Structure 1
């Protein structure tokens, strides 16, 4: 089979390398960074992403280094009162990003995959099959699509990890023009992600240091979150930019997956899960010699997931009468049809790319 050079040793790249290697495809990975990721906060792995990890034999490793997520709770940020609780069925897991990268890296080592760190690449190699799994600032994407300019969404995201003990659920405290997500992580930690609407921002990227006092001030007035906010001693802040879904994901020799192909805003916790799906399906398509069919099949699902994430952003930030009516409707729905809201995402969470 045609060997593949994977550019990027993140979640998408390492999963693709493992998926290709499992099919007997020679593969090597090159990564700009000098070693596996050591920074990063929490990730939510939903059943559609978990299926890929399970198919690669990594289910036990994930179970050992993650926590179960049993529900999503929507709450009124101003009062702390619950608006809607959505029980989750299936393997929803809460994991630190460095731990997931470590699991994938260890599996790559065990499979004998060559992962070369400290190897910056400015353009796709001129020969052989190339997979760009190199994220938002991909050097491979322009090869297929030319340059494109992301635009600022008018939202910024704050991120921190603090010590604490929370129930096994993801909680979203909603308020006008802002919301705060909290969930537990292994090791007695709590992951915090706060989204704030604001007009000014220039830089993109999540590793910019933030001011803990500013984080607290931005989400002041959320009584249920006060204890967690008080514990923040370091945080990061980044502007949320929208990149369009790439017009082309492949040309028969070069392809892109994950954020390089379709960056996703963090309002449905699907960035990592779509990357896992991309990696598995790309490997299957490469082995079958059908990259055009792969792109055609993946695009509608990815675009639907991105649209659903964007809708969540709007719904979390309601204000005025719309907020009152919307929250009241969710409370009634939770009482009379508790299974309805979770079932709206069966198309997303119940999808199993490994069954095809």
Structure 2
């Protein structure tokens, strides 16, 4: 129990930061979370929590509550954009009995974690804007207040002050893609599956949330003009509808329900070269921003948080931090590489190439359905709670 009584500052009250705070508090650390927002809340976004991420929720003792408010995914369905015809179906019912795939409202997961950390005795300080982080375990706020701890964890997202402290600045580049997101009423009877509607230069993902009465939409379009990185930008729904005007199936009815979509530019960041040093560590997007083409951003943050807490508890800060980076970096780099490679597969423009690719996927899905799902065993079958042991 190397973390018993150790003082920890977690910068960022998102999924990764709250998970790390809870995991460390359960191991006896004295934890304070510094969140720049006025409240721990998230609105208007869905998540896919795959079995590897759910392992962490289970280990924290929160899986029952999360399952009760989520939709269990039964399939991932790849569809052609014109009429919505199914190209390939990955049957999630084929997953082992101890694995589950959940569609979760991000606000529900944040609320669950926030309640758990407060119940566990974690101090949560809101409206705390961190402007500088030091490897010696020091955090400076925009009020000039300086805080110190035995360990600082940078879970502060894309524009991380902690990442800069360890790696300096980097140069993310625009991928030539933008993404809209929205939650709409389930007017189509959308079943409990994630549908990827694939078209030339764009795709749209849809899946139900909560009691199935709502549908989460993420729509990605290739374009030369870029918008700023981040999730706070809004767009007119007519722009989204125009971009996907050629899509059929359920897509037009769902897009007709969109009123105030978010819009953000997709930028590719390198995986941080250094994740830890002195009394400072990174996790989640602060270490490895992930494009949304494998639905693993939240899951990697969950894995990071558990691995960091477990390594620190087993080996202490000095030895635990290098072990954490060694355990996580190659896996995360593989996930990001696969996510980066998925975009072009969804966006095939040449109709002959697209037709041949879709035909091949359909044949493989019918002939070897288990093999198609099995290609994700390395991802979904991974259990970070065992890997650290």
Alignment TM class, shorter chain as reference: over 0.9
**Which whole-Å CA distance do the structure 1 matches of 2:307 and 2:132 have between them?**
24
2:178 aligned counterpart, secondary structure: strand
Residue 139 (structure 1) shift: 1.0
8 A Cα contact 1:252 1:292, kept in partner: no
- 1:155-185 per-residue CA deviation (whole Å, 9 max, x = no partner) reads 0001111101310000001011000000001
State the match for 1:195 in structure 2: 220
Moved more, 203-212 or 273-282: 203-212
Residue 23 (structure 1) shift: 1.1
Residue 252 (structure 1) shift: 3.4
1:205 aligned counterpart, secondary structure: coil
- 1:226-274 per-residue CA deviation (whole Å, 9 max, x = no partner) reads 1101111111110000111001000031010000000000000000000
Alignment match of 2:205 (pick from 164, 169, 181): 181
Residue 57 (structure 1) shift: 0.3
- 1:114-158 per-residue CA deviation (whole Å, 9 max, x = no partner) reads 011111111125243100001001111000000112110000001
State the match for 2:166 in structure 1: 144
| Long gaps (5+) in structure 2 | 139-147
8 A Cα contact 1:250 1:292, kept in partner: yes
1:303 aligned counterpart, secondary structure: helix
Under a length normalisation based on structure 2, what TM-score does the superposition of the two structures give?
0.90
**Which whole-Å CA distance do the structure 1 matches of 2:311 and 2:8 have between them?**
13
Residue 65 (structure 1) shift: 1.3
Residue 112 (structure 1) shift: 1.0
| Long gaps (5+) in structure 1 | none
Residue 60 in 1 paired to residue 60 in 2? no
Residue 262 in 1 paired to residue 288 in 2? yes
Residue 79 (structure 1) shift: 2.4
8 A Cα contact 1:144 1:251, kept in partner: yes
Alignment match of 1:39 (pick from 33, 39, 43): 43
Alignment match of 2:192 (pick from 168, 178, 189): 168
State the match for 1:85 in structure 2: 89
**Which whole-Å CA distance do the structure 1 matches of 2:42 and 2:219 have between them?**
22
Alignment match of 1:118 (pick from 110, 113, 127): 127
- 1:285-334 per-residue CA deviation (whole Å, 9 max, x = no partner) reads 12222211210121110000001111111110112222111101001101
1:195 aligned counterpart, secondary structure: strand
1:339 aligned counterpart, secondary structure: helix
What is the RMSD of the two structures over their aligned residues, measured on CA atoms? 1.1
2:79 aligned counterpart, secondary structure: strand
Under a length normalisation based on structure 1, what TM-score does the superposition of the two structures give?
0.98
8 A Cα contact 2:56 2:302, kept in partner: yes
State the match for 2:364 in structure 1: 333
- 1:324-354 per-residue CA deviation (whole Å, 9 max, x = no partner) reads 1110100110111011111111000000011
2:83 aligned counterpart, secondary structure: coil
8 A Cα contact 1:277 1:353, kept in partner: yes
**Which whole-Å CA distance do the structure 2 matches of 1:258 and 1:204 have between them?**
17
8 A Cα contact 1:131 1:255, kept in partner: yes
1:9 aligned counterpart, secondary structure: coil
Residue 154 in 1 paired to residue 176 in 2? yes
**Which whole-Å CA distance do the structure 2 matches of 1:38 and 1:299 have between them?**
28
Residue 40 (structure 1) shift: 3.3
Report how many residues are paired: 356
Residue 38 (structure 1) shift: 3.5
- 1:30-87 per-residue CA deviation (whole Å, 9 max, x = no partner) reads 1111111232310000000000000000011101111101100000011211100001
State the match for 2:327 in structure 1: 297
1:184 aligned counterpart, secondary structure: strand
State the match for 1:75 in structure 2: 79
